[in-house]
Structure 1
Protein backbone atom coordinates (compact mmCIF):
# COMPACT_ATOMS: atom_id res chain seq x y z
CA UNK A 1 0.00 0.00 0.00
CA UNK A 2 1.21 3.50 -0.85
CA UNK A 3 0.66 6.87 0.84
CA UNK A 4 0.93 9.89 -1.44
CA UNK A 5 0.36 13.61 -0.96
CA UNK A 6 -0.68 15.96 -3.77
CA UNK A 7 0.76 19.47 -3.47
CA UNK A 8 0.46 21.63 -6.58
CA UNK A 9 3.85 22.65 -8.03
CA UNK A 10 5.71 21.17 -5.10
CA UNK A 11 9.23 22.52 -4.58
CA UNK A 12 11.55 20.57 -2.26
CA UNK A 13 14.49 22.91 -2.69
CA UNK A 14 15.24 26.59 -2.33
CA UNK A 15 14.93 28.94 0.63
CA UNK A 16 11.26 28.26 1.39
CA UNK A 17 11.08 24.52 0.84
CA UNK A 18 8.84 22.65 0.95
CA UNK A 19 6.53 25.03 -0.87
CA UNK A 20 3.58 24.60 -3.17
CA UNK A 21 0.80 26.53 -4.90
CA UNK A 22 -2.92 26.53 -4.33
CA UNK A 23 -5.08 24.12 -6.32
CA UNK A 24 -6.77 25.70 -9.32
CA UNK A 25 -10.24 24.75 -10.54
CA UNK A 26 -8.73 22.96 -13.54
CA UNK A 27 -6.44 20.87 -11.35
CA UNK A 28 -9.23 20.10 -8.86
CA UNK A 29 -11.48 18.84 -11.66
CA UNK A 30 -8.69 16.86 -13.31
CA UNK A 31 -7.79 15.08 -10.07
CA UNK A 32 -11.41 14.24 -9.30
CA UNK A 33 -12.28 13.00 -12.80
CA UNK A 34 -9.07 11.12 -13.58
CA UNK A 35 -8.27 9.71 -10.16
CA UNK A 36 -10.64 10.16 -7.23
CA UNK A 37 -13.92 9.38 -9.01
CA UNK A 38 -12.35 6.26 -10.55
CA UNK A 39 -11.75 4.67 -7.14
CA UNK A 40 -14.13 6.35 -4.67
CA UNK A 41 -17.75 5.34 -4.12
CA UNK A 42 -18.61 7.57 -1.16
CA UNK A 43 -17.54 10.73 0.63
CA UNK A 44 -17.96 12.56 3.94
CA UNK A 45 -17.41 16.00 5.42
CA UNK A 46 -15.40 16.60 8.57
CA UNK A 47 -17.66 17.33 11.52
CA UNK A 48 -20.84 16.22 9.73
CA UNK A 49 -22.46 13.26 11.45
CA UNK A 50 -25.92 13.65 9.92
CA UNK A 51 -27.43 15.28 6.85
CA UNK A 52 -29.02 18.00 9.00
CA UNK A 53 -25.52 19.22 9.95
CA UNK A 54 -25.19 20.55 6.40
CA UNK A 55 -28.07 22.97 6.90
CA UNK A 56 -27.28 25.31 9.81
CA UNK A 57 -29.40 28.43 10.23
CA UNK A 58 -29.77 30.30 6.97
CA UNK A 59 -27.52 28.03 4.90
CA UNK A 60 -29.28 26.58 1.85
CA UNK A 61 -26.22 25.63 -0.25
CA UNK A 62 -26.91 21.89 -0.03
CA UNK A 63 -30.64 22.11 -0.84
CA UNK A 64 -30.16 20.84 -4.40
CA UNK A 65 -27.71 18.02 -3.58
CA UNK A 66 -28.97 14.44 -3.80
CA UNK A 67 -27.37 13.20 -0.58
CA UNK A 68 -27.87 9.47 -0.04
CA UNK A 69 -26.74 8.53 3.47
CA UNK A 70 -24.79 5.26 3.72
CA UNK A 71 -23.63 4.97 7.34
CA UNK A 72 -21.49 6.54 10.05
CA UNK A 73 -17.73 5.95 10.16
CA UNK A 74 -14.87 7.11 12.33
CA UNK A 75 -12.18 9.22 10.69
CA UNK A 76 -9.42 11.01 12.62
CA UNK A 77 -11.29 10.83 15.96
CA UNK A 78 -14.46 12.17 14.31
CA UNK A 79 -17.70 10.31 13.56
CA UNK A 80 -18.85 11.34 10.09
CA UNK A 81 -21.76 10.47 7.84
CA UNK A 82 -20.79 8.81 4.56
CA UNK A 83 -22.77 9.81 1.48
CA UNK A 84 -22.97 7.89 -1.79
CA UNK A 85 -20.81 9.47 -4.50
CA UNK A 86 -23.62 9.62 -7.05
CA UNK A 87 -23.67 11.63 -10.30
CA UNK A 88 -25.38 14.59 -8.63
CA UNK A 89 -22.73 14.81 -5.92
CA UNK A 90 -19.92 14.36 -8.43
CA UNK A 91 -21.18 17.30 -10.46
CA UNK A 92 -21.43 19.45 -7.31
CA UNK A 93 -17.96 18.45 -6.12
CA UNK A 94 -16.50 19.39 -9.51
CA UNK A 95 -17.51 22.99 -8.89
CA UNK A 96 -14.26 24.19 -7.39
CA UNK A 97 -16.01 27.06 -5.68
CA UNK A 98 -17.48 24.34 -3.50
CA UNK A 99 -14.05 23.13 -2.49
CA UNK A 100 -12.90 26.52 -1.26
CA UNK A 101 -16.24 28.01 -0.37
CA UNK A 102 -17.08 30.62 2.19
CA UNK A 103 -20.81 30.94 2.72
CA UNK A 104 -22.80 33.83 4.08
CA UNK A 105 -25.75 32.98 6.27
CA UNK A 106 -28.03 34.75 8.71
CA UNK A 107 -26.22 33.26 11.68
CA UNK A 108 -22.66 32.73 10.45
CA UNK A 109 -20.20 35.15 8.87
CA UNK A 110 -17.81 33.46 6.41
CA UNK A 111 -19.15 30.05 7.39
CA UNK A 112 -17.04 27.13 6.22
CA UNK A 113 -19.00 23.95 5.86
CA UNK A 114 -16.00 21.70 6.37
CA UNK A 115 -12.27 21.76 6.94
CA UNK A 116 -11.71 18.37 5.37
CA UNK A 117 -13.45 16.21 2.80
CA UNK A 118 -13.02 12.44 2.86
CA UNK A 119 -13.38 9.99 -0.03
CA UNK A 120 -13.84 6.25 0.49
CA UNK A 121 -13.61 3.07 -1.53
CA UNK A 122 -15.88 0.68 0.31
CA UNK A 123 -14.87 0.95 3.96
CA UNK A 124 -11.35 2.17 3.13
CA UNK A 125 -10.50 5.88 3.42
CA UNK A 126 -8.51 6.69 0.28
CA UNK A 127 -8.37 10.50 0.09
CA UNK A 128 -8.39 13.24 2.69
CA UNK A 129 -8.73 16.70 1.11
CA UNK A 130 -7.69 19.47 3.50
CA UNK A 131 -9.14 22.58 1.88
CA UNK A 132 -7.37 25.21 3.98
CA UNK A 133 -4.00 23.56 3.22
CA UNK A 134 -4.64 22.95 -0.52
CA UNK A 135 -3.52 19.38 0.10
CA UNK A 136 -4.84 15.97 -0.85
CA UNK A 137 -3.61 12.97 1.13
CA UNK A 138 -3.98 9.66 -0.69
CA UNK A 139 -3.98 6.86 1.86
CA UNK A 140 -2.99 3.21 1.42
CA UNK A 141 -3.36 3.16 -2.33
CA UNK A 142 -3.09 -0.13 -4.15
CA UNK A 143 -0.70 -0.63 -7.05
CA UNK A 144 -3.59 -0.24 -9.50
CA UNK A 145 -4.57 3.07 -7.88
CA UNK A 146 -0.97 4.30 -8.05
CA UNK A 147 -1.00 3.46 -11.77
CA UNK A 148 -3.85 5.95 -12.17
CA UNK A 149 -1.50 8.61 -10.77
CA UNK A 150 1.18 7.57 -13.23
CA UNK A 151 -1.31 8.12 -16.09
CA UNK A 152 -2.04 11.73 -15.10
CA UNK A 153 -0.60 14.68 -17.00
CA UNK A 154 3.09 15.26 -16.12
CA UNK A 155 2.43 18.53 -14.26
CA UNK A 156 -0.03 16.71 -11.98
CA UNK A 157 1.94 13.49 -11.66
CA UNK A 158 5.03 15.47 -10.58
CA UNK A 159 3.07 17.10 -7.74
CA UNK A 160 2.58 13.77 -5.96
CA UNK A 161 5.08 12.84 -3.31
CA UNK A 162 5.43 9.96 -0.88
CA UNK A 163 4.29 11.01 2.57
CA UNK A 164 7.60 9.89 4.05
CA UNK A 165 9.53 12.19 1.69
CA UNK A 166 7.40 15.18 2.65
CA UNK A 167 7.91 14.51 6.37
CA UNK A 168 11.67 14.23 5.76
CA UNK A 169 11.63 17.60 3.94
CA UNK A 170 9.90 19.29 6.88
CA UNK A 171 12.33 17.68 9.32
CA UNK A 172 15.29 18.81 7.23
CA UNK A 173 13.92 22.34 7.15
CA UNK A 174 13.58 22.42 10.95
CA UNK A 175 17.19 21.37 11.40
CA UNK A 176 18.56 24.18 9.24
Structure 2
Protein backbone atom coordinates (compact mmCIF):
# COMPACT_ATOMS: atom_id res chain seq x y z
CA UNK A 1 0.00 0.00 0.00
CA UNK A 2 1.43 3.31 -1.05
CA UNK A 3 0.81 6.40 1.09
CA UNK A 4 1.13 9.74 -0.60
CA UNK A 5 2.22 12.81 1.29
CA UNK A 6 -1.04 14.55 0.40
CA UNK A 7 -3.10 11.98 2.31
CA UNK A 8 -2.04 13.67 5.57
CA UNK A 9 -3.49 17.03 4.52
CA UNK A 10 -7.02 18.10 5.49
CA UNK A 11 -9.48 17.21 2.77
CA UNK A 12 -11.89 20.11 3.23
CA UNK A 13 -11.81 23.76 4.17
CA UNK A 14 -13.70 22.90 7.34
CA UNK A 15 -11.00 20.46 8.42
CA UNK A 16 -8.31 22.97 7.55
CA UNK A 17 -9.88 25.71 9.69
CA UNK A 18 -10.42 23.25 12.53
CA UNK A 19 -6.71 22.37 12.40
CA UNK A 20 -5.69 26.05 12.37
CA UNK A 21 -8.00 26.73 15.33
CA UNK A 22 -6.49 23.89 17.36
CA UNK A 23 -2.95 25.03 16.61
CA UNK A 24 -3.86 28.63 17.56
CA UNK A 25 -5.39 27.53 20.86
CA UNK A 26 -2.29 25.50 21.71
CA UNK A 27 0.04 28.40 20.91
CA UNK A 28 -2.05 30.83 22.96
CA UNK A 29 -2.02 28.39 25.88
CA UNK A 30 1.77 28.28 25.85
CA UNK A 31 1.95 32.08 25.75
CA UNK A 32 -0.51 32.45 28.63
CA UNK A 33 1.33 29.88 30.74
CA UNK A 34 4.63 31.68 30.11
CA UNK A 35 3.21 35.10 30.97
CA UNK A 36 1.53 33.86 34.14
CA UNK A 37 4.84 32.37 35.26
CA UNK A 38 6.55 35.73 34.87
CA UNK A 39 3.78 37.64 36.60
CA UNK A 40 3.70 35.16 39.50
CA UNK A 41 7.42 35.86 40.07
CA UNK A 42 6.73 39.59 40.12
CA UNK A 43 3.75 39.07 42.44
CA UNK A 44 5.96 36.97 44.71
CA UNK A 45 8.59 39.71 44.76
CA UNK A 46 6.03 42.38 45.58
CA UNK A 47 4.66 40.21 48.40
CA UNK A 48 8.21 39.83 49.71
CA UNK A 49 8.65 43.60 49.70
CA UNK A 50 5.36 44.12 51.53
CA UNK A 51 6.59 41.71 54.19
CA UNK A 52 9.83 43.60 54.72
CA UNK A 53 11.87 42.22 51.87
CA UNK A 54 13.96 39.62 53.62
CA UNK A 55 16.36 37.43 51.75
CA UNK A 56 14.09 36.32 48.95
CA UNK A 57 14.98 35.84 45.30
CA UNK A 58 13.20 34.22 42.40
CA UNK A 59 14.22 31.20 40.40
CA UNK A 60 17.45 30.10 42.01
CA UNK A 61 16.35 30.76 45.55
CA UNK A 62 14.03 28.86 47.83
CA UNK A 63 13.00 29.80 51.35
CA UNK A 64 13.88 27.10 53.86
CA UNK A 65 12.47 26.38 57.34
CA UNK A 66 14.80 28.83 59.07
CA UNK A 67 13.62 31.73 56.93
CA UNK A 68 17.00 31.95 55.24
CA UNK A 69 17.52 31.56 51.57
CA UNK A 70 19.11 28.53 49.96
CA UNK A 71 20.92 29.22 46.70
CA UNK A 72 20.41 26.45 44.14
CA UNK A 73 23.04 27.75 41.71
CA UNK A 74 25.43 25.01 42.86
CA UNK A 75 22.90 22.37 41.86
CA UNK A 76 22.07 23.98 38.52
CA UNK A 77 25.65 24.65 37.39
CA UNK A 78 27.79 21.86 38.91
CA UNK A 79 30.21 22.04 35.98
CA UNK A 80 31.56 25.31 37.44
CA UNK A 81 32.50 23.85 40.84
CA UNK A 82 36.08 24.77 41.59
CA UNK A 83 36.40 26.98 38.50
CA UNK A 84 37.81 30.31 39.63
CA UNK A 85 36.75 32.68 36.89
CA UNK A 86 34.28 35.51 37.32
CA UNK A 87 31.85 34.22 34.75
CA UNK A 88 31.87 30.72 36.25
CA UNK A 89 31.27 32.11 39.74
CA UNK A 90 28.48 34.32 38.41
CA UNK A 91 26.69 31.16 37.26
CA UNK A 92 27.77 28.82 40.06
CA UNK A 93 26.70 31.19 42.83
CA UNK A 94 23.31 31.67 41.14
CA UNK A 95 23.70 35.37 40.27
CA UNK A 96 22.59 34.62 36.70
CA UNK A 97 19.16 33.57 37.94
CA UNK A 98 18.25 37.17 38.72
CA UNK A 99 20.81 39.26 36.83
CA UNK A 100 21.46 39.56 33.11
CA UNK A 101 24.82 39.87 31.38
CA UNK A 102 24.82 40.41 27.61
CA UNK A 103 21.24 39.20 27.21
CA UNK A 104 21.59 36.02 29.27
CA UNK A 105 20.15 35.53 32.72
CA UNK A 106 17.20 36.50 34.86
CA UNK A 107 15.11 39.64 34.87
CA UNK A 108 14.49 40.06 38.60
CA UNK A 109 17.63 42.09 39.28
CA UNK A 110 19.44 44.78 37.33
CA UNK A 111 21.23 44.05 34.05
CA UNK A 112 24.93 43.97 34.93
CA UNK A 113 26.27 44.05 31.36
CA UNK A 114 28.00 47.42 31.93
CA UNK A 115 28.48 47.28 35.70
CA UNK A 116 32.13 48.31 35.53
CA UNK A 117 31.28 51.61 33.87
CA UNK A 118 28.82 52.39 36.68
CA UNK A 119 30.42 51.12 39.91
CA UNK A 120 33.94 50.33 41.13
CA UNK A 121 35.43 47.15 42.59
CA UNK A 122 34.94 48.18 46.22
CA UNK A 123 31.26 49.03 45.74
CA UNK A 124 30.61 45.77 43.88
CA UNK A 125 32.38 43.64 46.51
CA UNK A 126 30.39 45.28 49.30
CA UNK A 127 27.15 44.80 47.38
CA UNK A 128 27.81 41.07 47.01
CA UNK A 129 28.81 40.52 50.65
CA UNK A 130 26.21 42.80 52.24
CA UNK A 131 23.63 44.43 49.92
CA UNK A 132 21.96 46.24 52.83
CA UNK A 133 25.14 48.34 53.15
CA UNK A 134 23.94 50.24 50.06
CA UNK A 135 20.18 49.76 50.02
CA UNK A 136 17.66 49.21 52.79
CA UNK A 137 15.52 46.09 52.62
CA UNK A 138 12.00 46.70 51.40
CA UNK A 139 13.06 49.73 49.43
CA UNK A 140 13.89 50.16 45.78
CA UNK A 141 16.86 51.13 43.70
CA UNK A 142 16.90 52.78 40.28
CA UNK A 143 19.52 51.26 37.99
CA UNK A 144 19.90 52.39 34.36
CA UNK A 145 16.51 54.10 34.63
CA UNK A 146 14.66 51.00 35.86
CA UNK A 147 13.36 50.67 39.42
CA UNK A 148 14.12 47.33 41.15
CA UNK A 149 13.06 46.03 44.56
CA UNK A 150 15.97 45.56 46.98
CA UNK A 151 15.63 41.87 47.76
CA UNK A 152 19.12 40.62 46.95
CA UNK A 153 20.38 38.19 49.58
CA UNK A 154 23.79 38.62 51.09
CA UNK A 155 26.59 36.26 50.20
CA UNK A 156 28.48 36.55 53.50
CA UNK A 157 29.31 32.85 53.31
CA UNK A 158 31.12 33.27 49.99
CA UNK A 159 34.88 33.35 50.50
CA UNK A 160 36.55 36.74 50.26
CA UNK A 161 38.69 35.32 47.44
CA UNK A 162 35.59 34.42 45.42
CA UNK A 163 33.95 37.77 46.20
CA UNK A 164 37.11 39.40 44.84
CA UNK A 165 37.12 37.29 41.67
CA UNK A 166 33.43 37.92 41.03
CA UNK A 167 33.76 41.65 41.78
CA UNK A 168 36.75 41.98 39.43
CA UNK A 169 34.76 40.23 36.70
CA UNK A 170 31.75 42.52 37.16
CA UNK A 171 34.04 45.57 37.23
CA UNK A 172 35.49 44.47 33.87
CA UNK A 173 32.05 44.65 32.21
CA UNK A 174 32.01 48.04 30.52
More strand by proportion, 1 or 2? Answer: 1
TM-score range, shorter chain: under 0.3
Whichever of the two has the greater Rg, that structure is: 2
More helix by proportion, 1 or 2? Answer: 2
Structure 1 length as normaliser, TM-score? 0.21
Structure 2 length as normaliser, TM-score? 0.21
